[in-house]
Chain A
Amino acid sequence: MSVAGTASALPRLERKGKVTQLRVVLSEWTKLRSLRSTRWSLLVGSVLAIGFPLLFATILSNRWGHLSLRERAHRHPLDVALSGVHVAQLAIGVLGVLVITGEYSTGMIRSTFIAVPKRLPVLWAKAGVYAAVTFVLMLPAVLIAFFGSQAILGNHHILEISFSHPGVARTVIGGAVYLMLIGVFSLGLGAIVRNTAGGIATFAAIMFVIPPLLNILPSSWNNAINPYLPSTAGDAIFSLTHGSDTLAPGPGLALFCGYTALSLAIAAMLLVRRDT
C-alpha cells in the first residue's frame, strides 16, 4: 500500500447536503450491488427458478409414455413452470436475511447508523431496494421458465397451456411477486433476529418446518389453521386453482402482504429502540 508520508490537510467539502430517503435508497443500492454474496445468491436464485422447470419439463417429456393415465391427470403445466419458485425462495429468503444480518455480524451497522441516526430510512431503503431487485430479476426468470418449459412440453404435445388462458398470466407473474415478498419478509426477520444463523433458522422454521408439523394435529384443526400459514397463503399467490381448504389468490396475496408488513413493522419497532 502507498503511505501518505506527511500530513495532508483535509480538503474542504463545498456542497453539504442532508440525509434524504432517496439518498439512503441510493446508498443501499450501492451496498447491495457491491457484495459478492449478493451477486451469487441472486444468480443462484435465477438459475434455480429457470433450471428446475426446464429439467422437469425434459424429464416429463421423456417419461410421459411410461406414466399411467391417473398420473398424467395429476400433472399440471403451471406446476412444472413454477416449480423453480419453490426452490428459488430459499436463495431469496436467505439473501433477504443476510442483507441486514451481514451488517450486524461485521459491525457495518454502526457505520450505517452513524450516517443515518434516525435508522428507519435504512430499513425502508433496504426493503425497497431488495424488493425491486428481486422482482426485476425474478419476473423474467418465471417468464423464461414458463415459455421454456412450454416449448419443451409442446414438442411432445403434452401439458400445453396458453399464456392467455384465464389466470395463467396472473399465476406466472404471481410467482415473481411471491419471491419479492418472501425477500422482504425474510429481511424483516433478519432485522428482528440480527443474527445470520438465527435469521435463516427462523425463516426456514416458518416456511418449511412448521407446516408439515401441523399434520400431527387433529385434521379439523390443521384444516382450520393451515390456509392462514405464511407458506400456504404465499402458495395461493402463484396457484392457478384453489381448493376448499386454501385461500383464493387475492386473499392469499393480501394475507401474505400482511405477514410481510408485520415482519417489517416489528423490525422497525425494535430497530429504533435497541442499542447497536
Chain B
Amino acid sequence: MIEASGLTKDYGAKRAVDGLTFTVRPGVVTGFLGPNGSGKSTTMRLVLGLDAPTAGTAIVNGKRYRDFSAPLHEVGALLEARSVHTGRSAYHHLLALAQTHGIGKSRVTELVDLVGLHDVAGKRAGEFSLGMGQRLGIATALLGDPATLLLDEPVNGLDPEGIHWIRSLLKGLAAEGRTVFVSSHLMSEMELTADRLIVIGRGRLIADMSVDEFVQQASGKVVRVRSPQAERLSEVLAGPDVVVTSADRGTLEIHGLTAELVGEAAAAHGIVLHELTPLQVTLEEAFMDLTRADVEFRAVGAPAKKEEAAA
C-alpha cells in the first residue's frame, strides 16, 4: 500500500510534483502513467525517501520509508536511472545490498537465476546491455521478498521475450497480494499489464481509476456517422468542444459528443443517417486526449487549451 497525500516537490523555481494525492492498493498492478517529464520518477524518489518532499507526505505500508528498520523487506524498487556501480559485478552488487539486511548468498544466487543473469553474474555491470541492466534492477527489487514493488519503466530496453516475462512476473506478484506500482510512458504496455491507472501530467493528478473506466470514459465521446448530408451535419454539430474529422466522403468522426446527442441533432434537422457508431478508443488515444494539455514540451503553435484535470 502506497499513500501519497498532497505530495509536492520543487526543484528551485520549478514544481516537479504538484499536490499529488493517491493510493496504490495491494493485489493489483497499478500503472503510473504520464508523458516524459510529468513527475513520475520524482514521485517515486519521494516515496523512497531519496528526495524530501517540499510539502505533503508519502507513506508506504503505513510508515515513512526512512522509518523502516528493514526497508528491503517492505519495498523493492527499480529506478529508471541506473543505480549500479559500473565497476562491480552483478553478483557483488546484489550481495552488498543483501548483506545490509543479513540476506544470505543463496538468496542472491536464487535471484540471479530468476532474472536470467546466471551466465553474466560475474561480469562488470558497466558491460551490461540495457536489457541486462534492467534484469539486474529487477533482481535488486525482488531481493528482500518485499510486500510492495515500485518499478520505474521496467520494460525499458527489454527484448520481446523479456517484456513478456516481466508482464507475467508483475501479474503473478500482484496475485500473491503484493502492491505493484509500475510507471510507464507507454500506454500499450499498461493496457496489457495494469488493472488500475494513476495518470499524471505536469506533476498533477489527471486520473485515478481502473483501466476499463479510463478507456470507457474517453470512448463515449467519439462517434462515427455516415450520412449523405455529411457536410450539413458537421455544420449543425459545430461547437466549441466538438472536433469533426472526415476520413472518407460521407463519413465523419465526431469527438466530443455522444451518439445520443448526434442522433438527436440529426433528427431535429431532418438529416438522414446511414450509420451511427460510438467508437472504442484505445488506451493510448484516451491517454493522449487526457494529457494533451499537460505535455511539457509541446510543438510550438499547438494551443494550450482546457484546464479540466479530472482531479
Give the B-binding residues of A (Cβ under 8 A).
Answer: 1-13, 15-20, 23-24, 26-28, 30-31, 34-37, 102-103, 106-118, 275-276
Q: How far is the CA of A116 from the CA of B86 in the complex (A)?
A: 20
Nearest opposing residue in chain A for B107, CB measure? A13
- B62 sits at the interface (CB 8 A): no
Name, among B72, B117, B172, the residue most crowded by chain A CB atoms within 10 Å (CB to CB): B72
- B308 sits at the interface (CB 8 A): no
Among B193-218, those with CB < 8 Å from A are none
Q: Is the CB of A111 within 8 A of B114?
A: no
Taking CB atoms, residues of chain A closer than 8 Å to B119 are 1-2
Taking CB atoms, residues of chain B closer than 8 Å to A30 are 92, 95-96, 99
Query: B101's contact among A18, A31, A102, A275, by CB below 8 Å, is which?
Result: A18
Q: Is the CB of A114 within 8 A of B71?
A: yes
Q: How far is the CA of A24 from the CA of B49 in the complex (A)?
A: 18
The 10 closest A-B pairs by CB, nearest first: A7-B168, A17-B102, A13-B145, A34-B92, A4-B116, A27-B99, A108-B85, A275-B51, A110-B83, A111-B83
Taking CB atoms, residues of chain B closer than 8 Å to A9 are 172, 176
Could you give 8 example pairs across A and B, Cβ below 8 Å? A4-B115, A10-B142, A23-B100, A23-B101, A37-B87, A107-B81, A116-B100, A276-B51
Name, among B89, B96, B116, B144, the residue most crowded by chain A CB atoms within 10 Å (CB to CB): B96
Among B13-70, those with CB < 8 Å from A are 45, 48-52, 65-66, 68-70
Q: Is the CB of B101 within 8 A of A17?
A: yes
The verdict on A18 contacting B116 (CB below 8 Å), with A6-B168, A111-B97, A114-B77 known, is: no
Q: Is the CB of A115 within 8 A of B89?
A: no
Q: Is the CB of B116 within 8 A of A107?
A: no
Give the A-binding residues of B (Cβ under 8 A).
Answer: 45, 48-52, 65-66, 68-73, 75, 77, 79, 81-89, 92-93, 95-97, 99-103, 107, 110, 113-120, 124, 132, 140, 142, 144-145, 159, 161-162, 165, 168-169, 171-173, 176
Taking CB atoms, residues of chain B closer than 8 Å to A116 are 71, 100
Q: Is the CB of B96 within 8 A of A19?
A: no
Taking CB atoms, residues of chain A closer than 8 Å to B92 are 30-31, 34
Taking CB atoms, residues of chain A closer than 8 Å to B89 are 34
Query: B116's contact among A2, A35, A106, A112, by CB below 8 Å, is which?
Result: A2
Taking CB atoms, residues of chain A closer than 8 Å to B114 are 4, 8, 10-11
Q: Is the CB of B83 within 8 A of A275?
A: no
Q: Is the CB of A108 within 8 A of B83?
A: yes
Q: Is the CB of B66 within 8 A of A110?
A: no
Q: Is the CB of A35 within 8 A of B100?
A: no
Q: How far is the CA of A103 from the CA of B83 in the complex (A)?
A: 9
The verdict on A111 contacting B84 (CB below 8 Å), with A1-B116, A13-B103, A13-B145 known, is: yes
Given pairs A11-B145, A34-B95, 17 additional interface contacts (CB within 8 A): A16-B70, A18-B69, A18-B101, A24-B100, A30-B92, A30-B99, A35-B87, A106-B85, A108-B88, A110-B81, A114-B71, A114-B77, A115-B97, A117-B48, A117-B71, A118-B66, A276-B45
Query: B145's contact among A5, A8, A10, by CB below 8 Å, is which?
Result: A10
Q: Is the CB of B84 within 8 A of A108?
A: yes
Q: Is the CB of B96 within 8 A of A34?
A: yes
The verdict on A115 contacting B100 (CB below 8 Å), with A34-B88, A35-B85, A110-B50 known, is: yes
Taking CB atoms, residues of chain A closer than 8 Å to B48 are 114, 117
Query: A3's contact among B75, B140, B161, B176, by CB below 8 Å, is which?
Result: B161
Q: Is the CB of B88 within 8 A of A5?
A: no
Q: Quote the shortest CB–CB distance from B47 to chain A (angstroms).
A: 11
Nearest opposing residue in chain A for B68, CB measure? A117
Taking CB atoms, residues of chain B closer than 8 Å to A26 are 99
Taking CB atoms, residues of chain B closer than 8 Å to A6 are 165, 168
Name, among A34, A107, A276, the residue most crowded by chain B CB atoms within 10 Å (CB to CB): A34
The verdict on A106 contacting B86 (CB below 8 Å), with A5-B161, A7-B168, A114-B71 known, is: yes
Q: How far is the CA of A12 from the CA of B110 in the complex (A)?
A: 11
Q: How far is the CA of A15 from the CA of B75 in the complex (A)?
A: 16
Q: How far is the CA of A114 from the CA of B137 in the complex (A)?
A: 13
Q: Is the CB of B118 within 8 A of A2?
A: yes
Q: Quote the shortest CB–CB distance from B186 to chain A (angstroms).
A: 20
Taking CB atoms, residues of chain B closer than 8 Å to A275 are 45, 50-52
Q: How far is the CA of A19 from the CA of B117 in the complex (A)?
A: 26
